[in-house]
Structure 1
């Protein structure tokens, strides 16, 4: 194949300018069309123009090297086209489909549609005398194989995770939910990247107002490019200044499928393994897929542990600062004397000590994430032990503060979602300051402000604290506790209003008593 030369000019009308090519129809002159695309992809060495003849007609194929399957292009397309001796211009699409053994052949007639086809990896076939082109569906590019998600590892459940290819991701969901009511609605976001975003939902379960609102928010996005799902998340959330996430992201097909079956909508974005789920509540962020794969007693126990240590992760350092600074009489005398003797040589007040220790712990944790995997965990653990022990021996920090910060760090790791874990880590610092200034009154003030803030949040018009604020019976079966699956007959009240029945009324499983 050879690259066509950049022509200085053409006979007849001039090719349209690049900025005017949105809805401009193709010319019936092959030279004009090739000139336009040559100027459009000027200084692009990976864009290949190959000219040849079909019978007595000039033709050209335009494609991007690395995005198209060159073997299929040579063997299935060019080899068969060169054998054609006669062209029926009025019905060339049917002749093309009968000649080329490719299922995905589309006829397009505007410069904009042609450039989109080329950018997506579909070779473009141009023919002299025709004001139309043909997109050949032989896309092929390198992609990562399906692996277990590294950020959402589980003991029990599927080991498959999404990849950066949106086609692979949609197929993984289709393999779980086989009903044709599962819809995949595509949109494109980004002026230059034109990133494909698919709105996935189950027709008859998801509220159409939710789907329409999600589509409207996506259409309002005016940005140069979308590189990851986080770009989309920041544009569509209801309260962008809140530290709490209002959209759940996951890279597990089983989590996506479970939320689709509850009437939620899912955004799958090309180029990232993370899908976005909406609407969600505060309690959705503390639910793990393993809660449903294990028996309900185990799932309930683990969930209660998470909520208990949520309070520990947010308030333990501030309560310690408040008690040691203002309310020493609340401690038993032996414990008070032990803490006082441990803090005797510490040069800082409790609030400064807690603040510095929390900052050091966050720095070690972040360093462990950024370092190579082989040494990251070792550096964070060894660093915490060595620095903590050395600080205590030097009299800079007290041993009780090391214990408090360590327990707080462990508690924050119990949160199954990284996004809410970041929010907890961020909130600890202002609460510590309030505790150091006002004591337990500051801690209570922080708790009241936190509850008021959570009460005002919404996720796609769904209250963030639902179902607590509605006290509806059915969603409460899957909030703080997890009822048995054979008792959860209804979908969540706020997302599954259209078809609220999840399963038929199931009789409680009975053991087989056997017979004589």
Structure 2
């Protein structure tokens, strides 16, 4: 037995497994010690003798006394799994090699992996695993006993629907992957995991549907994620900033959502999902401009209802983007465009107003932005009341004080309400940024400046790409077959093909589509 231990010890010490440090030099991994007490001391010292590091010593067999050590972090493991492991599974057959017998007895716990160095040991217990060490051996086992307190599956708060599933992602990546697999019960739904963050060691996963996804898209995602070298990743927004195509653009080039049905639908179209442990928001790529104006509810309602709602969202997009700038341009430079009665009414309202229309709009827009942020940060019980009452009181007081005109209050109010219609919060922020730029241009050059600003925005949108896919497709480049699910939403029986530029193979998702068309009876 001592001869076997010596051979194992020499083999593990001679392994050239090493990791690069921040300077690029290779640092050999420190192998485990034979002494159980020495291993315990090194673990406690590495964690600064923290109280939540639990170490236990257990005697396996009375006839052939073998000591094993159990190491885990309190709060990251499931107490029931630990109790089951200690009471039933840590049994060693004396006729078998002790370490192999221990590994076989723990196989009931599911995923059990072997560890040989302290770096892997630290990573295992920090991930919620329980490490089992055997006295006299330089090997250990890491058992999957993850648990602790996690937020349960709840209804999404950022993308609520009237009709549709009510479940949303949580902060636990294993729960999120299971929610997606419940939607797509196919073995071709593949997942690749990696760890990003030198300190945080955050688990990141890529999910895609093999046979439908473009392999170049998956490879591009691997390359971009593999290039990330950062201390910590706490949210998918950290990943988004590091892998997006364009940095200096107000438009989001990656889509994020906390709805499993939206991610599942995107995967079925040939997109990839990027899941980050610790956040309920999952990234999806590639993202198109039209995708930010679509809601999951569009596919659960009738096609005519969904089309009407989409048209309403695009109308609200233009109102939210252009209403203040058009008002400023027309009342300042192009009064001849207004009917005489309306012009007289606006002139009467502005009589005695000390500021030009641009200053009015800027003051009211900034005031509303302050109220909106205050409503978000305040407690939910008082947040809505403060924002609504604050807007009414400030608006009425400003009109009575003669600081702004009633028409400007109406313009700012309809602009803010239209911004809330946009399903994507990211795109709403983009519109708020561009609105101020267009207001400045309108105050300087009138409608001519607004037109030039719109042309510049369109040119910028046409230059963007998301993981190599044109951001404005299928409108630029124009793809006639994909117009069935862009501005309009055709019936389900007509949506038999996947988007052309996203899925390069297996484009047909509905066989015998014509037979699924409802029959029209006289």
What is the match of residue 43 of structure 2?
37
Change (3 A) 1:114 1:291: same
Aligned partners of 2:106, 2:487: CA distance in 1, in Å?
62
Deviations, residues 330-350 of structure 1 (Å, cap 9, x unaligned): 100000000000001110001
Residue 99 of structure 2 corresponds to residue 98 of structure 1? no
SS in 1 for 2:190: strand
Which residue of structure 2 lines up, in the alignment, with residue 127 of structure 1? 134
In 1: Cα distance, 2:317 partner to 2:240 partner:
24
Q: Is the 8 A contact 1:165 1:272 kept in 2?
A: yes
Is 1:308 aligned to 2:308, yes or no? no
Q: Tell me by how many angstroms 1:504 deviates.
A: 1.3
Q: In the alignment, is residue 64 of structure 1 matched against residue 70 of structure 2?
A: no
> In the TM superposition, what are the counterparts of 1:72-471 in structure 2 within 5 Å?
72-77=81-86, 80-81=89-90, 84=92, 86=94, 88-89=96-97, 92-98=99-105, 101-471=108-478
Q: Is the 8 A contact 2:36 2:135 kept in 1?
A: yes
Please give the secondary structure, in 2, of the residue aligned with 1:437.
Answer: helix
Please state how far the C-alpha of 1:224 moved relative to its aligned partner: 1.2
Q: 1:487 to 1:31 in 2, by over 3 A?
A: same
- Matched residues in 2 for 1:99 and 1:331: separation? 81
Task: Summarize deviations over 1:254-275 as a string: whole Å, max 9, x none.
Answer: 0000000000000111111100
Deviations 1:487-511 (A, max 9, x none): 1111001111111111113222114
What's the counterpart of residue 23 of structure 1?
Answer: 29
Instruction: Note the alpha carbon deviations across 1:107-150, whole angstroms, 9 max, x for none.
Output: 22222222111111111111122221001111111111111101
Kept in 2, the 8 Å contact 1:22–1:110? The answer is no
Does residue 478 (structure 1) correspond to residue 485 (structure 2)? The answer is: yes
Moved over 4 A (4+): 16-22
Name the Cα RMSD after superposition.
2.0
Q: Once the two structures are superposed, what CA deviation does each residue of 1:421-441 show, in whole Å capped at 9, x if it has no partner?
A: 000011111110110011111
CA contact (8 A) 1:364 1:383 kept: yes
Work out the CA distance in 1 between the residues paired with 2:107 and 2:322: 68
**1:101/1:77 Cα in 2 relative to 1: closer, same or farther (>3 Å)?**
farther
Q: Secondary structure at the match of 2:72?
A: strand
Instruction: Tell me the SS of whatever aligns to 1:246.
Output: coil
Residue 76 of structure 1 contacts residue 100 of structure 1 at CA under 8 Å; is this kept in 2? no
- Once residues 263 and 83 of structure 2 are traced to their aligned partners in structure 1, the CA distance between those partners, rounded to angstroms, is 39
TM-score, normalised relative to structure 2: 0.91
Residue 472 of structure 2 is aligned to residue 489 of structure 1: no
* 1:208 CA drift (Å): 1.1
Structure 1: distance between partners of 2:505 and 2:18: 50
Task: Specify whether residues 336 and 271 from structure 1 end up closer, same or farther in structure 2 by C-alpha distance, changes over 3 A only.
Answer: same
Deviation at 1:56, TM superposition (A): 2.6
1:77 deviates by: 2.1
Runs of at least 5 residues in structure 2 that lack an aligned partner in the other structure: 1-12
8 A Cα contact 1:250 1:256, kept in partner? yes
The 1-side partners of 2:109 and 2:368 are apart by: 58
User: Separation in 2 of the partners of 1:457 and 1:43?
Assistant: 52
Q: Normalising by structure 1, what TM-score?
A: 0.92
Distance 2:86 2:49 in 1: 27
CA distance in 2, matches of 1:129, 1:87: 18
| 8 Å contact from structure 2 (residues 197, 229) kept in 1 | yes
| Cα contact 1:247–1:278 (8 A) shared by 2 | yes
Task: Identify the residue that residue 4 of structure 1 maps to in structure 2.
Answer: none
- Structure 1 gap ranges (5+): 1-12
Larger CA deviation: 16-25 vs 270-279: 16-25
Q: Secondary structure at the match of 2:503?
A: coil
SS of the aligned residue for 2:34 comes to coil
The structural deviation recorded for 1:365 is 1.1
- How far residue 179 of structure 1 moved from its aligned partner, in angstroms, is 0.4
Instruction: Decide whether the 8 Å contact of 1:265 with 1:278 is kept in 2.
Output: yes
